[in-house]
Chains A and B, each alone.
Chain A
């Protein structure tokens, strides 16, 4: 655990979260969400939770993004908020 890295990553994390919720274009929101997943994966790794990091990398940054994009392609891309 490295505290400064921890703090920096967490701040980025919050920014990513806000961005993902703010963007009205769902596709870019999903992209940011994947970035968010990747950031949090880094945080896990930095905290020594390697298995969680691994899973998060595959699931959070990988599959969930893919599924969401698939859905967005099949539905609407614009969001009212």
Chain B
């Protein structure tokens, strides 16, 4: 079966979801093991994919065996970037799953099977988006991701979660439809949907590549994915949506959904339109970098004003998205910006997952949803506090955390292409993060332990849970923190793989003159 790994990665959670839906409602204790098995399977497969890509090279898989003529069937493609992203998705999803183990007696327990079904289908969407090589297929999978996200957000027990979900639905559908319009224009111009095929056609006939239709296609595809990734000024929906949904699903969505959209942007840019669009229209890429800077600034400022942990983290996501979009559009000769943002996709997935898991643990174990609830955390549970600290340091970008190295390459790209404003924004937001997180560290480190070691009044939606589930929540957090550190220390193999792909896809000679 080893030659089918790319598709099994996607199928495992799909089958898992179906089986859970079939048996789960009869016996709820089956749900968690099935889901765990499914995700573990796709985790193993994604390791296999990464290994194959690292040793052999890019891997094409033609669904239905429609390999020739090219572009008739649907093609899956795994290369240096998305194989790593597959792995990251699998890891984050596993951690979130283990965290979100539900027990009977919890309220709306009869819905828990369907929570798992939606969870797994969301993973299907993410995996599928990441590995597909077909422009329209991306749309279908985006819709799966979106629908499941609406469901998961609306499962939050706060009244506001429903409104957030509805706004998310409207915005998300508009975004996906914009993407669909873009693909339509592209299809109208070149008559193909296969990414590689489109690339070849655009490369072969420049008059098409420079036509207004293709330009409009690019604009709308970008608008679509920017809406999905909540880039400023389209970021309004994200903080509500992610901070009111149950933390079990926030741990999955917040780290991954935006990152995958960023990945889609990068994929569309360098394997459909080609990075030429960045370097050949400096005016436009200048504008995009400005938007990214705006996103960074807006995210940081919003985060400064928040007193709720989850909200603050959500605002930081907006800023991080700004990093990646800006880095992609720097258009420096050495492709350092692109490398940086690709690495940052992974790094940010890991550290956001770590931070959100930590926020979830705060809420569940200590009923702490606001900064001031965290006082004395270091003494109450040093491990949780330590893990959160690691995540925060990574967010600030302190070596040897992964956050530092992505900034290292992003700034290199920015200096080479002379985007000083971007550098200022990047460093500024790093300083803002430092302020934010050290504010929390101070509260957690100096603050008095509240005399009642019992959890606070459990906030809406985050019912305090029996102690025996504490380990299920804490273990993923610790693993995520450790991964955040390891990804930073051992960044070299990752960077090498990414650079290999970048160099091969964009044809720059590797490095310094």
In-complex A–B contact (CB below 8 Å): no
